[in-house]
Structure 1
């Protein structure tokens, strides 16, 4: 098998492990990610398939699997699975990918509608030490428009129960620019979120994606989105309020108290190696990208019959990896190191991008601070435009 002939560097690199649970109770009208609503009958089969895929990676990395530096269970909604099932899955992950038994950042996405206090206690005892709670809003009218199944009170209670269960590292996911939302409403959500004192906040502007119910409503003129000026005011106020509260913006959408940045995501933004388990999950190992089929039944069938689960396998050349590393690294407020990129890829960034980089510097979209290049305050607002220039 070709997988057995990889070089030692490939076998040694796997800082991140991602486990995808593509199930949810109900599909939200803004969500464009692959997930299945309901389908409880597939849960057991899917868990067995995940275990089979772990054994595939054991063979891939032979003679020894490198140690994961972080573990992240995402979805979908991982907590549609029982706490007992999630505990067993985490134990299997640690057996395969963390045989030393040391503690690493171990995150799980949690929906307030799918966890109770006893579930959180079991998750903490199982070894999860970081929760990413899908709050989205702390106003009931906005939650209803988003199609969320929880209330603002339930979200606040989830945070309290998580603290009681022993979680000392909590992240809240919030969204702004929502249908019917105005600046005052966003400030209310932000105030309530800060009152909960999370260690981390992930804050996203709503994007209306093609193929979603929201996109259909927008085409029909039935989606009351705030004006661009109001959305910009929401963003600017967020920066001010979070900085005053002691949170540092370290990535376009991510804010943390000192030392509480998400290690798993930082590895991703630095274009590090990682293994992805599950339907639709992607693995990236020493420039080899393996994309899993984004269909639960196909994923299970392939593993049950001993067939590869990949819908695509791509070996990126040095320049492609360099460009990806630049683009992803610029998402972080620290930016990228010109010298570090030269050591890693033997490519000089200013020479490689030439006039394109010069134009971005002239437009104050990128700034150079000695060895580092980073997005300016204006560039962070117009990040998509900057990235498009650098692809």
Structure 2
């Protein structure tokens, strides 16, 4: 479920989000529940509240949202994992306790950085101490499953600083860490500043060094790299995200939310006004859709699945995609990558090798060609 409101737009972010000030948040909650009543499945296995910053909603708004979703889907009994994204400035013990009572069992907190100058560069509205306070508030409020979001390889970010900051975060005891290299996405302030020469991206060698350092530090603390940018001790992986990387089915509710059901992928209007107008009129809020043929589904399943450390089972993906021809085009793409040592075969599965892991994006994209 996508709730688009934020305290402010971060300079690197290309997700659909808008400043909450002056917006009809209550009306948006009503519209989200209206769309959910029409489209959300009964008894979902996982639920994920993203955005935006869902924790920006008041306790009263969150109560109405979660109680409403419960009456529609019965998620509190069926869901094995219900996650809500939060930022430090909008998380305290009272809200954490309310969320736990409302059926949220997993909280994701956007630390992003432990460097004040980097937080300012990112356009974040919280300080370093706010992040630690929010984590402790979440823990005191009853959360055991807490994820911390981090971004590395920002301009000026050094391995020396990362060697101090990342263990500092891990000392808090999170059950999951998402750590991404900074990306300069199109139509963001960072992309604009990069083009204007106001920002300088890290050299590839430094980004690779920070990537390898991230994996090494997390591994030393008992965190498995189950996906290229996601880490957890065994048993604490994000099940919602695992379903996504396995090209499973999911229903997206809210502006810009994407769904994947029975081989059909569709996205809602990527703006609040047209999405809400469509929902309130009883119409579909979708702005686009596509249905891939078996070849397209096969390539997409490899593209997604190779990001998982477990890799892919070629036979299982052929069955998932409905590919019945004797020649497997995805294996034809994989063979030279296996020969180059960028992929490896382990117990019948194909996965990224240690050499291929830092090149995950480029390697995975080859299967969409």
TM-score range, shorter chain: over 0.9
Matching residue of 2:191:
215
Matching residue of 1:51:
33
Q: Does 2:238 align with 1:238?
A: no
Partner SS, residue 260 of structure 1: coil
Matching residue of 2:148:
172
* Counterpart mapping for 1:124-139 below 5 A: 124-139=100-115
Partner SS, residue 277 of structure 2: helix
Q: CA separation in 2, counterparts of 1:78 and 1:203?
A: 20
Q: CA separation in 1, counterparts of 2:298 and 2:153?
A: 33
CA offsets per residue over residues 211-250 of structure 1, 9 Å max, x none?
A: 2111222122221443322221111111111111100000
* Contact persistence 1:366–1:379 (CA under 8 A): yes
Q: CA separation in 2, counterparts of 1:90 and 1:321?
A: 34
From 29, 42, 45, the counterpart of 2:24: 42
Q: CA separation in 2, counterparts of 1:349 and 1:152?
A: 56
* Contact persistence 1:108–1:132 (CA under 8 A): yes
Q: Does 2:359 align with 1:387?
A: no
Matching residue of 1:333:
309
* Contact persistence 2:26–2:61 (CA under 8 A): no
Distance 1:169 1:99, change over 3 A: closer
CA offsets per residue over residues 324-350 of structure 1, 9 Å max, x none?
A: 111111110000112322443344797
From 306, 317, 338, the counterpart of 1:361: 338
Q: CA separation in 2, counterparts of 1:298 and 1:43?
A: 15
Matching residue of 2:284:
308
CA offsets per residue over residues 50-79 of structure 1, 9 Å max, x none?
A: 111012216xxxxxx442111100011111
- Equivalent residues, number: 367
Partner SS, residue 113 of structure 1: helix
Using the TM superposition, give the Cα deviation of residue 280 of structure 1 relative to its aligned residue in structure 2, in angstroms.
0.6
Matching residue of 1:6:
none
Unaligned runs of 5+ in 1: 1-18, 59-64
**212-221 or 125-134, which deviates more:** 212-221
Partner SS, residue 383 of structure 1: helix
Partner SS, residue 186 of structure 1: helix
Q: Does 2:199 align with 1:202?
A: no
**331-340 or 97-106, which deviates more:** 97-106
* Counterpart mapping for 1:35-184 below 5 A: 35-57=17-39, 65-98=41-74, 101-184=77-160
The alignment's TM-score, normalised by the length of structure 2, stands at 0.94
Q: Does 2:231 align with 1:270?
A: no
Q: CA separation in 2, counterparts of 1:120 and 1:374?
A: 38
